[in-house]
Structures are given as structure tokens and as C-alpha cells.
């Protein structure tokens, strides 16, 4: 089956991102296809490369990068949600005149159209929120 995944909460405060990660990993392991993982609302914070969790805890952000690279996943951060919350790639940072960028490897910034398209392409869109 083709799944699309929507993640609506950031790392650590809520379990949504953990659950989405476990679901995505389990679906891939079972042979299903992931069309796209779309991060919205505070979910865009999963795409930072500057998160430094304690060593005895899971690394929510880095785990997405690893899973994405293992399976060539599309990990998309909504541009409007990301800009509001200070998640910028090199291009966006330059355009906005900021001195830094913070997007983790494997993540891309794109528009909400990618969410609608994810809903159209997939057999099921699974939403993870609070």
C-alpha cells in the first residue's frame, strides 16, 4: 500500500513525531511504500540539525534523517510553517537576509501543495498530531 505521512507536532513535547517515525519505519519494513512525509505546524521543528538531546534519550530529529537516507524518503517541511518558526535552508536564509541556516540533511522545504499531492497520490494519508 502507498502511505503518505503528515507530522503536526515537533520533537519531544508530544509523542506525535515518535509515533509517525515508528509507523513509517514499520510500514517500510512490511514492504509498503511511503509517498512522502510532510511536516506541518510545529512539526517543521523535526527538521532542525541543531537539536542536541541528552545521550541517554532517542534523537528524534536525527532519526528522521537516518530513515530518510536509508529509504530515499521525501521529508518535506512546509515553507510557510518553517519560515514562521525559524527553520531555514541556505536559500531561504539568504533570501531573508539571515546569517545562518539549520535544516538537517535529507529534509527539503516546499509548499503546501506537496501535502495535497501526498493525499492524492497515496492510498492512505496518516496524520500524526496531538
Q: How far is the CB of 108 from other proteins (least distance, A)?
A: 17
Q: How far apart are CA 121 and CA 109, in angstroms?
A: 19
Q: How far apart are CA 80 and CA 3, in angstroms?
A: 24
Q: How far is the CB of 98 from other proteins (least distance, A)?
A: 21
Among 78, 87, 103, 104, which one carries the catalytic annotation?
Answer: 78
Q: How far is the CB of 88 from other proteins (least distance, A)?
A: 18
- Regarding 6 and contact with other proteins (CB under 8 A), the answer is yes
Touching other proteins, residues 98-127 (CB under 8 A): 111-113, 115-117, 119-120, 125, 127
The C-alpha cell at 122 is 497515496
Q: How far apart are CA 43 and CA 89, in angstroms?
A: 16
Q: Which residue has cell 535544516?
A: 103
Touching other proteins, residues 9-68 (CB under 8 A): 40-41
Query: Please, what is the end-to-end C-alpha distance for the chain in angstroms?
Result: 25
Q: Which residues contact other proteins by CB under 8 A?
A: 6, 40-41, 80-81, 111-113, 115-117, 119-120, 125, 127, 129
Amino acid at each position: 500500500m502507498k502511505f503518505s505521512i503528515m507530522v503536526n507536532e515537533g520533537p519531544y513535547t508530544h509523542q506525535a513525531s515518535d509515533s509517525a517515525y515508528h509507523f513509517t519505519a514499520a510500514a517500510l519494513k512490511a514492504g509498503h511504500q511511503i509517498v512522502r512525509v510532510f511536516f506541518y505546524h510545529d512539526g517543521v521543528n523535526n527538521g532542525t540539525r541543531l537539536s542536541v538531546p541528552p545521550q541517554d534519550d532517542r534523537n528524534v530529529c536525527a532519526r528522521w534523517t537516518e530513515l530518510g537516507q536509508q529509504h530515499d524518503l521525501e521529508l518535506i517541511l512546509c515553507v510557510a510553517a518553517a519560515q514562521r518558526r525559524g527553520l531555514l535552508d541556505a536559500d531561504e536564509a539568504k533570501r531573508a537576509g539571515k546569517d545562518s541556516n539549520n535544516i538537517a540533511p535529507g529534509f527539503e522545504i516546499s509548499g503546501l501543495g506537496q501535502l495535497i499531492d501526498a493525499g492524492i497520490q497515496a492510498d492512505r494519508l496518516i496524520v500524526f498530531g496531538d
